Amino acid sequence: MSVPCLGVAILTMGTRPAELGALLESVEKQSVPAARVVVVGNGCRLPDLGPGVTSVELSENLGVSGGRNVAVETLRELGDVDVVVDLDDDGLLVDNEVFSRITELHAADDQLGILSFRIADETGQTQRRHVPRLRAGDPMQGGEVTTFLGGGHTLSMRMLDEIGGWPDAFFFTHEETDLAWRALDAGWRIVYAPELLLQHPKTSPARHAVYYRMTARNRVWLARRHLPLPLVPVYLGTWLLLTLVRTRSLPGLRAWLGGFVEGVRTPCGRRPMRWRTMWRMTKLGRPPVI
C-alpha cells in the first residue's frame, strides 16, 4: 500500500469541551497531518472548532456505534481517507509521532484492518481492561490480537467497505468485539501497538447508567450473531458465571440479568463465524468462548 491518508473521527456529547479542545490541538501537532478531521456531536450542539474540522451535529444520541457510523460516512463523503483514526474526546495524543507510526504500519501490511492503541492515564498506568488480550500483565507487549480498544484505534476503510460498519443496535458496549469478529472472519489482522499511546483518565465503564443492561444484552447478541450454535450456550454460560462471581452491586446484577433476557428475546441477525476463524483466534490466545 502507498502511504495512507488518515481521517480522524471524534465523538462527543458536549460535556468535555476543554478536553476536546486539547485533543484537537494534539491532533493538529502531529508530524504527519490528518487529511480530514470530523467531530460528531452525539445529540448535542458543537462550538466553533476552528478551521480544518468538519462538525456534524446529531439531533439525538445514536450511541457509540451509531455516532461512529455517522463519522465514517462523513469521512467517505469528504474523500481522501484510507484509514479512520477513532479517538475518545477526553483522550490526548502526547506524542507527535503517533500518526507517523500509524501510516508506517498500515502501509507495510495490506491486511492490517485494525490497530489498537495503548491507553494509559496521566501517570502512565494502563488498566487491565485496556489491554486487549488475556495475559494483561505487561501492557507494553504488542502483537496480533482478537479485539481492540474503543478509546483509541484505527480502522482500514477498505476493511469497512468489505465487512460493514459498527453495529448500530448495540449503542454502547461490545461494539468493538462485534466489529473485530467480523474483521477476523474476513481475514483481516488486528494488531495491538503499545507505542501508539492515547493518554486517558482512569475510568470505569459502570459509570454509565445503561452499562449493566447493555453489557448483558449485547453479549447475548454477540453469541447469537457470530458463534456456531454449539458454542452459544458455552460462551453465555461462561459469562453468566463470571458475572455472578464478579458483580458486587445487587441493582447492577438485576439490570444485567434483565439485559440478558432482552438479548435472548430480541432479534439481532445471524452471520456465524467459520470454524477456521475460531481456530485462528484460539492460536492467538483467545478462543471465542471467554
Name the band, by pLDDT with cuts 50, 70 and 90, for residue 45: very high
| Each residue's pLDDT tens digit, 14-37 | 999 999 999 999 999 999 999 999
Question: 156 phi and psi, to 5 degrees?
Answer: -70, 130
- Under the banding of pLDDT at 50, 70 and 90, the label for residue 248 is confident
Per residue in 86-118, pLDDT (tens digit) is 999 999 999 999 999 999 999 999 999 999 999
Strands 6-12 and 143-144: unpaired
Confidence of residue 172 (pLDDT cuts 50, 70, 90): very high
Confidence tier at 2 by pLDDT (50, 70, 90): confident
Whole-number Å distance between alpha carbons of 91 and 149? 13
C-alpha cell at 173: 458496549
Question: Cell digits for 132?
Answer: 486487549
Residue 64 has pLDDT above 90, yes or no: yes
Query: For residue range 110-150, what is the model confidence (pLDDT) as tens digits?
Result: 999 999 999 999 998 988 888 888 776 789 999 999 999 99
DSSP 272: P
pLDDT at 205: 65
